[in-house]
Chain A
């Protein structure tokens, strides 16, 4: 047996522990800001993990993942606006709509490969963005304020910062665990096989696109959940949150952390959003620093942070 104690796994475990204990730190120091910041980070980490499932494991470079954040968010926002405040209705609707969108977009996009796939997923996401902008009843361009967070019949209070944080963290860990099971399952092996060599997979008897499509839908559904969480976190939903730059940020988070590594997107999101937070205190041109950093990672650390840690582990 290979030893599981190495630099990479230790750091992953420490980060997971740190995320779990964060509310205690926040309570002890009275630092509420850090809890707010990390709630956002955890939600985006879930979105990045879902993108990693198709991008890292499936080899499908979707440039339209922000659409699911929007769909999940609008499902919550619109239902709340129409007086349906129960999360037991809002959230299943958010997931179902995300899955449906993924099914339709996937069925059309997966006929293409490479750059065309990137462009077509981008185009559909932009269509979703403009549709959201056109929803004049729900604020159009200005967005929609959500006056009341989803209710779960007294089970959990989403307005309570700590409870909401733990709900988000539960979703993140649950999502990562689910993805871990999936990538090691029969299904996951097929999806990764298709990424590696589609022709070979066809020749041994797999209908490649069927598996890709299901993977695409799973990913979109998980990201829809992140969207529902995000809308509750900001108490607000607007088309800006599903603009193509948001999809780009999600891709950067995945690449930062390491494509095709289970926990990579979580680390990538933490680093990306912390950097954004810190750098933007010094300059509004923080992207000028983030850009070259991304360039360095792509050029010199192909596997992202997880890749670097892996090299460290091997000594």
Chain B
């Protein structure tokens, strides 16, 4: 197996008496789509927040592209090529779609202590934004204010913003959250395309999507990894079935 792009070792994070991340270890190799699933409260979002730097772990280490990033703030991780989308849409509501993406491109195009020239007239930033928007099917909505985009479009824009930072690794926190059936299908098709270009860690509730997309699946329960393997192995894993008792038929019947 290739050197992992992301290596998480013995990560621990507790809130009061509750261990939301409990001695968790995880590898993501370049090129794979690695899904993280688990019942509600399994600590998926807590894990993502530690990977992106919003939350600091109590102990353990995170390595990304051969470098330790355990204590780096979010903006430095982004510079290294770690991008994320948010579970709850997190955009600049009073900016246009194109502005949102152009800012992401700008963040990775040298420093922004430039006070004179108009940023909206910088061709290469606008082109980069337009390309990322086209990638997610929002090319024609570029000049619409984010607050006037539909929920589905905002989810797609989240993805475009992450892409515009030219990431090595994309952390997607429930990109399907709140999407209807057709929108979900579009998102799955989009992720199928993206996975060819970039390594992806996908946290998702939609089992159908996870089993359709993932190369490897890691199952979290109470902050611990209870299983990790390819979709078939996970589907047939006894412990996973037990953890997902309510959703059992979902895990078994799709894929």
Contact = CB atoms under 8 A, between A and B. Distances in A.
Interface of A: 181-182, 184-190, 192-193, 196-197, 199-208, 211, 214
A202 B74 contact: yes
B106 A189 contact: yes
B154 to A, nearest CB: 12
Contacts of B79: 205
Contacts of A206: 75, 107, 112
B120 A184 contact: yes
A203 B78 contact: yes
A214 B112 CA distance: 11
Contacts, number: 93
Contacts of B120: 184, 189
19 contacts: A185-B115, A186-B106, A186-B112, A186-B117, A186-B119, A187-B114, A188-B119, A190-B112, A196-B92, A196-B95, A200-B161, A202-B74, A202-B75, A203-B78, A203-B83, A204-B103, A204-B161, A204-B165, A205-B107
A204 B78 contact: yes
Interface of B: 52, 54, 73-75, 78-79, 83-84, 86, 90-95, 99, 102-104, 106-108, 112-120, 122, 161, 164-165
Contact of A205 (B75, B99, B113): B75
- State the 8 A-B residue pairs at the shortest beta-carbon distance, nearest first: A205-B78, A205-B107, A196-B92, A186-B112, A204-B104, A186-B114, A202-B74, A186-B119
Given A184-B119, A197-B93, A199-B90, 12 more contacts: A184-B118, A186-B112, A187-B112, A187-B113, A189-B112, A193-B92, A196-B95, A200-B86, A202-B73, A203-B74, A204-B164, A205-B104
Contact of A200 (B92, B112, B117, B164): B92
A180 B65 CA distance: 41
A214 B78 contact: no
Contacts of B95: 192-193, 196
Contacts of B116: 181, 185
Nearest to A210: B113
Chain B CB within 10 Å, residue with most, of A187, A199, A206, A214: A206
A214 B93 CA distance: 24
Contact of A214 (B86, B94, B113, B164): B113
A188 B114 CA distance: 9
Contact of B118 (A185, A192, A196, A208): A185
A193 B91 CA distance: 9
Nearest to B99: A189
Nearest to B120: A184
